[in-house]
């Protein structure tokens, strides 16, 4: 869809690409205040889960779950937050956010207080992306 930031995100930020799955794309969030904060979004422009055929919906949820499991195994957080809102960006996308009891706003939602962005170096992004990519790959084989 024209003017949808999620429809163009994959091509706009190639340095943050983690994986192309069958139905979803996976990208690291540039702001790593919450280490491992990752986006999983539908390849095709869709706004609601119920717009998907049952089989595709199930497959999408399996992909989201596989990415969440990979993040959990890799980062060992206290909890994974799954955010699927779409009010500001009406394209089905999840914010998968590893949360730690040591983070400054624990246990409140990630948007409850502003924070300074944590921007990594190119090498740090590449390293984190590769670790997540490998963890996702291991999840898909189990």
Whether the predicted pLDDT of 139 surpasses 90: no
Q: Is the pLDDT of residue 140 over 80?
A: no
Q: In what order do the strands lie in the sheet with 17-20?
A: 17-20, 24-28, 38-42, 93-99, 79-83
Quick one: pLDDT band at residue 142, thresholds 50, 70, 90?
Answer: low
> Which letter does DSSP use for residue 113 in this model?
S
The whole model's pTM is what? 0.95
Cβ-contact 129, 16 below 8 angstroms: yes
Reduced to 3 states (helix: H, G, I; strand: E, B; else coil), residue 133 is helix
Q: What is the pLDDT of residues 103-117, one digit of tens each?
A: 999 999 999 999 999
H/E run at residue 41: strand 38-42
Q: Domains of the chain by range and CATH?
A: 5-140 (3.30.428.10)
Q: What is the pLDDT of residues 70-129, one digit of tens each?
A: 999 999 999 999 999 999 999 999 999 999 999 999 999 999 999 999 999 999 999 999
pLDDT grade for 40, boundaries at 50, 70 and 90:
very high
* pLDDT at residue 2 in the model: 76
Who contacts 116 (Cβ-Cβ below 8 Å, separation ≥6)? 33
């Amino acid at each position: 869809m024209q003017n949808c930031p999620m429809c163009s995100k994959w091509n706009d930020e190639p340095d943050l690409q983690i994986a192309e799955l069958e139905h979803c794309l996976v990208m690291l969030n540039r702001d790593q205040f919450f280490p491992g904060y990752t986006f999983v979004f539908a390849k095709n422009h869709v706004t609601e889960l119920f717009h998907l055929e049952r089989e595709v919906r199930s497959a999408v949820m399996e992909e989201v779950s596989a990415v969440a499991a990979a993040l959990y195994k890799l980062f060992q957080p206290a909890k994974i937050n799954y955010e699927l809102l779409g009010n500001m960006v009406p394209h089905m996308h999840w914010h998968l956010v590893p949360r730690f009891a040591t983070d400054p706003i624990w246990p409140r939602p990630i948007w409850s207080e502003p924070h300074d962005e944590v921007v990594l170096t190119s090498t740090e992004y590449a390293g984190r992306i590769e670790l997540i990519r490998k963890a996702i790959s291991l999840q898909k084989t189990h």
